[in-house]
Structures are given as structure tokens and as C-alpha cells.
Amino acid sequence: MQRTFILLKPDCVQRRLMGQIITRFEQKGLNFVAMKMLRITPDLAKQHYAEHVEKGWYPTLEGFITGGPVMAAVVEGLEAVKVVRDMLGATSGLNAVPGTIRGDFSSSRQMNLVHGSDSPEAAVREIALYFEESEMCEDTPTISKWMLAADE
């Protein structure tokens, strides 16, 4: 099992899409192991998006991501990092194919509703930015035997 970090961005919260997005991840078979609402500070935004801080568009990204409450979550599953990224689709909602979250709900390059870690290393780093290990609600749902074969 692999963990990845998900952030439902301020546009997702404001547009009342949290439920639909969470439902998609649940339907896919991912297990939610942690979840909380918070308001991202400029300092946390710079840590989260460290790779983009020097980009010309970073200030508008920081304004967006700090502009309202977000929902941070950790989900777990086989190849969770890749599975979540595939479910999100391309960065811009204009390029994301229909069927993906961004493809179905966004027409924006910035307001693309959901963040997902882009590698297992990024997932470890991002989970630690937002959560303590003690906040992880590890569990093996009893339905698991109907979601995956024993040898998968």
C-alpha cells in the first residue's frame, strides 16, 4: 500500500464540490486515512510549492491557495500516487481529458480544484508538511477482500 497527499483547493471548497471529489476517490477504492480543514498561510504555501516559488506566476498561485479554506487529506491504496494523478488529469482544466476531475469540473490552469503529490518522495514530504504521524487513522476495511484479490 502507498500513501499520497491530496489537497482540495479553495475553489473546490467554495464551489461545494468536496463531496463529489471525495466520492470519486472512495469509489476508486482508495482509503482515507487522514483529513482536515485548514487555511494555508503564505509560509506553508511557499513550502508546499517550493519548486514553483521562483516562477513569475507564483504570487497569483499563493494568493489563490491562501484565499480560502482547504481540505487536506491522506489516501492509501495500491500505486496511490499514480492513481490519484491519473484521476486528476492534466494541470489545466482545458487540457485535462473528460472523465478526469479537472477535465470534468475545471476550465482553468490555476483553479483546478485538487492537488495530488507527483511522486512517492513528494507524497512523504507533503504528508509531513500537513500532518503528524499520530493523525493517521490506519485501518483495513472489512470490504477490502471484495476490492482486491489476495495476490494483488
The binding site for ATP comprises 9, 85, 91, 102, 112
52 part of the active site: no
Secondary structure tally for the chain: helices H, strands E: 7, 4
Q: Which stretch binds Mg ion (CB under 5 A): 6-14, 18-26, 113-121, 144-152?
A: 113-121
Any bridge partners for residue 70, and if so which? 38
Q: CA-to-CA distance for 42 and 146, rounded, in angstroms?
A: 43
Q: Which of 57, 79, 139, 145 binds ligand CDP (CB under 6 A)?
A: 57
Q: In a 3-state reduction of DSSP, which class is residue 37?
A: strand
Task: Tell me the three cell numbers of residue 45.
Answer: 504555501
Distance CA 21, CA 84 (A): 11
112 forms part of the interface with ligand CDP (CB under 6 A): yes
Q: How many residues bind ligand CDP (CB under 6 A)?
A: 10
Known binding-site residues equal 9, 85, 91, 102, 112
**Catalytic annotation, pick one of 73, 87, 113, 115:** 115
Q: Interface with Mg ion by CB under 5 A: which residues?
A: 118
Active site residue ranges: 115
